[in-house]
């Protein structure tokens, strides 16, 4: 009986976490350059084997006393490139390569994104709204004008005088799973070393989110059904326990 409670409670918690991930993907369907996440599950036995080792127990770590649960294994980010959408803004840019990220100077340090929906801040710097200034090969890029011409590698030029204003810095990583950690929204934190690369950039385009809304909606409905079923059975267990308490020992 108690094992059933543990299994159902862990199922409710796991499905709730999965639903949160799906909801975040759905919210960001229209966010340029967004990379969707998939919530993965595992069993307690797998977690125990991973944390204590199969044969060598010397590096074991405490895992608590709960031993009848389904555990969440974490989120896996899909780094597949999204499609391209044309825009009317001269400050919109899209990376056309599979790899590489724009580098953004935020208040919390450098962040990385595929979102090229830039604007000018109050001081005339190229800026990602809600994040920070866009980094160039020589630091934050000062434009002062929004009428721009570009070359194919992210070089920016005054649209009237032809003056060179800067070049957008693109950074890539050898192993995205190991070297990047999702921060908020479409931003990533570097946990490993990145390197500047030459990457083709298209002006007047934005990269789409790689979230498939139909798949996410299907997953959401399946997750909600699983969550409702676990909650209903949990109520049945609770009612049964109440009856057992009322009857008492014979």
Give per-residue pLDDT as tens, 107-116: 999 999 999 9
Calculate ∠ Cα 49-55-42, nearest 5°: 10
Burial class (CB within 10 angstroms; exposed 0-12, middle 13-18, buried 19+) of 22: buried
pTM, two decimals, is 0.76
Which residues, 6 or more positions from 60, have their beta carbon under 8 angstroms from its beta carbon?
51, 52, 53
Residues 223 and 177 in one domain: no
Residues 72 and 58 in one domain: yes
Do residues 118 and 193 lie in contact, with contact meaning Cβ atoms separated by under 8 Å? no
* Domains held by the chain: number: 2
What pLDDT was estimated at residue 184?
84
Q: How many CA atoms lie within 13 Å of 10's alpha carbon, on the beta-carbon side? A: 18
3-state secondary structure the chain: CHHHHHHHHHHHHHHHHHHHHHHHHHHCCCCCCCCCEEEEEEEHHHHHHHHHCCCCCCCCCCCCCCCCCEEEEEEEECCCCCCEEECCCCCEEEECCCCCEEEEEECCEEEEECCCEEEECCCCEEEECCCEEEEEECEECECCCCCEEECCCCEEEECCCCCEEEEECEEECCCHHHHEEECCCCCEEECCCCEECCCCEEECEEECCCCCHHHHHHHHHHHHHHHHHHHHHHHHHHHHHHHHHHHCCC
Residues 102 and 178 in one domain: yes
Residues 44 and 98 in one domain: no
**Maximum Cα interatomic distance, the chain, rounded to a whole number of Å:** 96
Residues 105 and 203 in one domain: yes
Residues 88 and 172 in one domain: yes
Six-digit token string for 246: 């009322």
Six-digit token string for 212: 């498939």
CA of residue 248 relative to chain centroid, distance: 52
Which residues, 6 or more positions from 86, have their beta carbon under 8 angstroms from its beta carbon?
204, 205
What pLDDT was estimated at residue 227?
72
Range of the domain at 164: 84-207
Residues 203 and 226 in one domain: no
Q: How far apart are CA 12 and CA 226, in angstroms?
A: 8
What pLDDT was estimated at residue 226?
77
What pLDDT was estimated at residue 42?
63
Residue 210's closest CA among 133, 95, 127?
A: 95
Which residues of the chain have a pLDDT value below 50?
1-2, 46-50, 65-68
């Amino acid at each position: 009986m108690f094992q059933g409670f543990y299994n159902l409670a862990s199922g409710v918690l796991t499905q709730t976490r999965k639903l949160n991930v799906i909801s975040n993907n759905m919210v960001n369907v229209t966010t340029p350059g967004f990379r969707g996440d998939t919530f993965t599950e595992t069993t307690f036995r797998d977690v125990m084997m991973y944390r204590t080792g199969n044969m060598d127990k010397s590096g074991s770590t405490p895992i608590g006393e709960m031993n009848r649960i389904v555990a969440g294994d974490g989120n896996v980010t899909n780094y597949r490139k999204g499609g391209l959408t044309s825009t009317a803004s001269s400050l919109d840019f899209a990376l056309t390569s599979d790899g590489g990220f724009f580098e953004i100077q935020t208040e919390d340090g450098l962040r990385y994104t595929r979102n090229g929906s830039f604007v000018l801040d109050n001081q005339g710097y190229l800026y990602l709204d809600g994040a920070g200034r866009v980094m160039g090969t020589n630091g934050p890029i000062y434009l002062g004008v929004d009428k721009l011409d570009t070359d194919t590698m992210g070089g920016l030029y005054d649209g009237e005088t032809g003056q060179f204003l800067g070049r957008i810095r693109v950074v890539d990583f050898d192993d995205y799973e190991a070297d990047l950690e999702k921060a908020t929204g479409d931003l990533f934190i570097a946990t490993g070393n990145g390197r500047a690369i030459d990457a083709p950039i298209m002006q007047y385009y934005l990269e789409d989110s790689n979230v498939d809304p139909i798949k996410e909606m299907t997953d959401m409905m399946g997750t909600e059904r699983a969550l409702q079923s676990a909650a209903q059975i949990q109520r049945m267990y609770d009612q049964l326990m109440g009856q057992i308490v009322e009857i008492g020992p014979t």
